[in-house]
Amino acid sequence: MPVLVMKFGGTSVASLDRIRRAAKRVGVEVAKGYDVIVIVSAMSGKTNELVGWVNETSPLFDAREYDAVVSSGEVVTAGLMALTLQEMDVPARSWQGWQVPVRTTSAHSAARIEEIPTSNIIAKFDEGMRVAVVAGFQGISPEGRVTTLGRGGSDTTAVAFAAAFGAERCDIYTDVDGVYTTDPRIAAKARKLDRIAFEEMLELASLGAKVLQTRSVELAMRYNVKLRVLSSFEEQSDEAGTLVCAEEEIMESNVVNGIAYSRDEAKMTLISVADRPGIAAAIFGPLSEAGVNVDMIVQNISEEGRTDMTFSCPTDQVLRAEKALDAARVRGDINYHDLVADTDVAKVSAVGIGMRSQSGVAAQMFRTLSDEGVNIKVIATSEIKISVLIDRKYMELAVQALHDAFELERTA
Ligand code: ADP
Ligand code: ASP
Ligand code: MG
């Protein structure tokens, strides 16, 4: 029988009532003749609570134990979803990551899926089970310990299952009815896109649009998974939501197609480091070993052999970054006068594949921000995006102003 993957995010399984609603939707697809793999997130707010407990217990936590704690939210919803389906007379069984098993790397808290053997679940489908409910976000390392896939990782679980089982489609049910030109919670004028290209979705996700986890888009692109984002709260037709697809399948598109933001950024500046060959390696090597995700990097002008080095990273990694740099200083690998952390910044980015062939987007972006009196602290560009770091208090304003300036409320 054809297989369908249906993923329900946190708000879609936030209560027993919502789980029943999601289960009904699964029942509709089962009635159409699909064998369904349901991927569930933890109830909304649960993972945040668990992460909070870990941080409070141990600020520089052992990531293996972080995973042991934060993977638990999905265990609960997977079991409840299976029970709910059974109550509706749909033959269903739940699976935790290790039972499938979802084999991952041992990079705890940010593991990557390496392999999903299908035989266990297929054997159950052959015995008459119609729905496999799989706890999203979790896997098992080569050492046999539970891993997690990074925040938002259930999306990646879903796409990986769709690829492994050759699913007809991977439907991501969430609390908005598709992918918008920007977060509809920030800009009322945000417009829902019927289709979005993999490359653009990938860029938007990696720049903060949390509607899909970046890695899930990468996998969908690589394995050509038919990926759809839609609402679990509205009645659905087969055309509902947003289809994430190849660029060739999209007729027309704007130069800029989306604005993304990332609220929790920090700007770190090392004041007066020696400007010598190898200095960047001496700084960023230890940061990478400490698991700090460095994003933008700027080396300032050098004077009398010394320079300032600025980089950005997520605010919750500032402590790790400070420790790693301090240790490098104590070892004598680097020396600097001071390390200044500005934790009140946010990143705002404009994304569009049309930028490849059209110039002037950066200039328009800078002009728009300047008209709003927003100061730009750091700039980074690539072929299809421009990102700026600004004071967090201007983030919403900047997103709305850029959405207006690039006329994203209008179709191409
Ligand atoms: P889930 O729990 O279902 O995985 P998430 O909270 O992870 O849901 O992702 C959905 C949220 O993503 C939306 O509620 C919305 O606020 C946010 N979001 C950010 N950017 C966008 C965008 N461009 N389009 C749609 N939603 C977006
Ligand atoms: N529950 C996890 C999180 O909140 C995974 C997910 O929802 O995708 O990050
Ligand atoms: Mg999510």
Give the pLDDT confidence of 24-37 residue by residue, as tens digits: 999 999 999 999 99
Q: How confident is the model at residue 303, as a pLDDT?
A: 87
Ligand 1 centroid distance, CA of 283 (Å): 34
Q: Taking the C-alpha atoms of 62, 68, 73 and 78 in order, what is their torsion angle to the nearest 10 degrees?
A: 150
- pLDDT (tens digit per residue) in 338-387: 999 999 999 999 999 999 988 899 999 999 999 999 999 999 999 999 99
Q: Which tens digit of pLDDT belongs to each residue from 111-122?
A: 999 999 999 999
pLDDT of residue 392: 97
Question: Average of pLDDT values for 36-45?
Answer: 98
- Ligand 2 pocket: which of 154, 159, 217 to mutate (most atoms within 8 A of CB): 154
Q: Is pLDDT above 70 for 81?
A: yes
Pocket test for ligand 1, best of 185, 192, 211, 231 (most atoms within 8 A of CB): 211
Residue 172 Cα to ligand 1 midpoint, Å, equals 11
pLDDT for the residue numbered 409: 94
pLDDT number for residue 236: 66
pLDDT for the residue numbered 36 = 98
* Rounded Cα–Cα distance for residues 37 and 41 (Å): 13
Question: How many angstroms separate the alpha carbon of residue 9 from the centre of ligand 3?
Answer: 6
Average pLDDT (72-84) is 98
pLDDT at 179: 97
Nearest CA to ligand 2 atom 8: 152
Specify the pLDDT at position 302: 83
Q: How far does the centroid of ligand 3 lie from the alpha carbon of residue 171, in Å?
A: 13
pLDDT mean across residues, the chain: 95
Furthest-apart CA pair in the chain: how many Å? Answer: 77
For residue 174, give the ligand 1 atom closest to its CA.
Answer: 3
Distance, CA of 58 to CA of 109 (rounded, Å)? 15
Q: Cα–Cα distance between 86 and 132 in angstroms, integer?
A: 12
Ligand nearest to the backbone CA of 109: 2
Q: What is the pLDDT of residue 383?
A: 93
Q: Does pLDDT of 252 surpass 80?
A: no
Closest residue CA from atom 9 of ligand 2: 151
Averaged over 39-57, what is the pLDDT? 97
Instruction: Reduce the DSSP state of residue 46 to 3 states and report it.
Output: helix
Q: Looking at ligand 1, which atom is closest to the CA of residue 8?
A: 3
Characterize 306-331 residue by residue with b for buried, 16 or more Cβ atoms within 10 angstroms of its Cβ, and e for exposed. bbbbbbbbbbebbebbeebbeebbee
In angstroms, what is the span from residue 41 Cα to ligand 3's centroid? 8
pLDDT at res. 238: 66
pLDDT in tens, 305-324: 999 999 999 999 999 999 99
Smallest CA-to-CA distance from 119 within 141, 99, 105 is with 99
* Distances in whole angstroms, Cα of residue 193 to Cα of each of 21, 190, 209, 217, 257: 25, 9, 14, 16, 9
CA of 287 to the centre of ligand 2 (A): 25
Model pLDDT, residue 2: 95
Which positions ≥6 away from 4 have C-beta within 8 Å?
Answer: 29, 34, 35, 36, 37, 167, 168, 169, 171
Cis peptide before 101 (omega within 30 of 0): yes
Residue range 265-302, pLDDT digits in tens = 999 999 999 999 999 999 999 999 998 999 999 998 88
Q: Which range among 48-52, 131-135, 253-257, 406-410 shows the weakest confidence by mean pLDDT?
A: 253-257
Look up residue 168 and give its DSSP letter: S
Cα–Cα distances (Å) from 201 to 115, 193, 206, 246, 260, in that order, read 24, 11, 8, 11, 10
Atom of ligand 1 nearest to the CA of 229: 25
| Domains of the chain, first to last | 3-175 (3.40.1160.10), 259-405 (3.30.2130.10)
Atom of ligand 2 nearest to the CA of 153: 8
Helical ranges in 32-87 per DSSP H:
46-57, 63-70, 72-87
Spacing, Cα 19 to ligand 3 middle (Å): 16
**pLDDT tens-digit map of 221-243:** 999 999 999 998 877 666 689 99
Question: Which residues surround ligand 1 with Cβ inside 6 Å?
Answer: 9-12, 41, 152, 174-176, 179-180, 182-185, 209-211, 258
Q: Does position 20 have pLDDT exceeding 70, yes or no? A: yes
How many C-beta atoms surround the C-beta of residue 278 within 10 A?
Answer: 11
